[in-house]
Structure 1
């Protein structure tokens, strides 16, 4: 353990803290993908899900993702989530939000890319 530079993130402890934060973010995303109401547009879990995903994106853009789940653990959650979401949208009686579906799919794809890049760092 030690510090090797003057920056805020240039120590073993800082990298350990980032890994813990990433584990918590990804863990909660995985929980929310399975939550019974996280696909409902009027439920707070859907907002939390996508805010946490955006937080992971922001960390990734700054090179601050230090751990991620195995991609296959994450990927198996996407289709069931999207099926529940699509069914909920159809049952709402509103016009199906194809634009929103596109954004969700793109978000899941980007999350997978991050998981593929950083899951190998987990020990």
Structure 2
């Protein structure tokens, strides 16, 4: 059946659309990771990648997890992003308070994604048993 309840996402059309949206967000993050120069602190993707992750995490926490890449890939995304950010932020001459606070937010965002992806992976593995 294409509809199973009264919720906004309780039908095939909505879930197909959600899968498209989350897939697009993940593709955009992956593309940015392939071009690390676009992750430098003054580049748009430096701001947009964490926003995309935030949206994916919010959806996952609402019970609508994306098809996360494997946890190792996500950990590599975190490493790449932070390495580029760390190597480029000082050129913008931010205050030390901003720099430390922003980095803590970035780490927390990536760690949240990793935790949610790890949980989803565990759930998939337990379903396979």
Place the TM-score, normalised by the shorter chain, in its bin: 0.7 to 0.9
Contact 2:8 2:14 in 1 (8 A): yes
Q: Which runs of 5+ in 2 are unaligned?
A: none
Cα separation, 2, equivalents of 1:102 and 1:66: 24
Q: Distance in 1 between matches of 2:92 and 2:40?
A: 12
> Which shifted more, 16-25 or 105-114?
16-25
For 2:91 and 2:8, locate their aligned partners in 1 and report how far apart those are by CA, in whole Å.
49
Q: Which runs of 5+ in 1 are unaligned?
A: none
Superposition CA RMSD, Å:
2.3
Mapped to 2, the partners of 1:92 and 1:115 lie a distance apart of: 33
Deviations 1:18-70 (A, max 9, x none): 22222221221222234312232x22122221221221122123222242111
Contact 2:74 2:114 in 1 (8 A): yes
Cα displacement (A) at 1:95: 4.4
Contact 1:4–1:11, Cα closer than 8 Å, also in 2: yes
2:118 corresponds in structure 1 to: 116
Task: Tell whether 2:40 aligns with 1:39.
Answer: yes
Secondary structure class of the residue paired with 2:80 = helix
TM normalised by structure 1 equals 0.79
Aligned residues: 120
Contact persistence 1:29–1:49 (CA under 8 A): yes
Supply the distance in 1 between the matched residues of 2:110 and 2:12 (Cα, whole angstroms): 30
